[in-house]
């Protein structure tokens, strides 16, 4: 449950400008996760989230890049393991199938891995399309994902 909740938090803060623990708890509850402010506080600490300022003085939570925090790569790998179903390639496009509702979190995890081969990911509900720099590098990324899952 914790891994799914962490994946949903990653997805929510990437999609929305969430600036308080209360807002995050409310959104998680709307998504079906029954959480308290104390749970959200622990999740924020576990995920090593930080706030950045937006125009107008508001703030929002963001994820620190994976390279800055040694334990973060493990969290992203766990999201990838939990959400992954299958993958296939079409030239330099990698298509990853996920558990329903997990595509955004898995795509965010792949983006945060900072693999130089990955140009970017687009996610739906259960499918991710990753643009990879070349066909050869698509095979490299597929191998990296296989080793994780």
How many contiguous H segments (helices) and E segments (strands) does the chain have?
6, 6
Note the pLDDT of residue 24.
Answer: 95
The CATH number of the structural domain formed by 2-63 is 1.10.10.10
146 burial via Cβ count (<10 Å: 0-12, 13-18, 19+): exposed
d(Cα 5, Cα 32) in Å, to the nearest integer? 10
For residue 87 the two structure tokens come to: 């993958």
Lowest mean pLDDT among 1-5, 54-58, 78-82: 54-58
Query: Is the model more confident about 88 or about 65?
Result: 88
- List the domain boundaries for the chain: 2-63, 72-148
Q: Mind listing the pLDDT tens digit for each residue in 111-128?
A: 888 888 999 999 999 999
pLDDT tens digits along 27-74: 999 999 999 989 999 998 888 888 887 777 788 888 765 444 445 577
| Cβ contact 77:10 at 8 Å | no
d(CA 108, CA 27): 18
pLDDT beyond 90 at 133:
yes
Which pLDDT does position 28 carry in this prediction?
95
CATH architecture label of 72-148:
2-Layer Sandwich (3.30)
Instruction: Say what angle helices 72-83 and 37-47 make with each other, to 10 degrees.
Output: 110
């Amino acid at each position: 449950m914790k891994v799914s909740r962490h994946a949903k938090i990653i997805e929510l803060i990437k999609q929305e400008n969430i600036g308080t623990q209360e807002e995050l708890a409310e959104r998680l509850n709307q998504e079906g996760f029954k959480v308290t402010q104390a749970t959200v506080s622990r999740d924020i600490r576990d995920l090593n989230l930080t706030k950045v300022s937006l125009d107008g003085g508001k703030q929002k939570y963001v994820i620190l890049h994976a390279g800055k925090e040694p334990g973060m790569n493990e969290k992203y790998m766990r999201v990838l393991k939990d959400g992954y179903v299958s993958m296939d390639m079409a030239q330099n496009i990698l298509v990853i199938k996920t558990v329903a509702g997990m595509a955004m979190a898995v795509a965010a995890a792949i983006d945060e891995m900072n693999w130089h081969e990955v140009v970017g990911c687009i996610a739906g509900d259960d499918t991710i399309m990753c643009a990879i720099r070349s066909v050869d590098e698509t095979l490299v990324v597929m191998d990296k994902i296989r080793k994780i899952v």
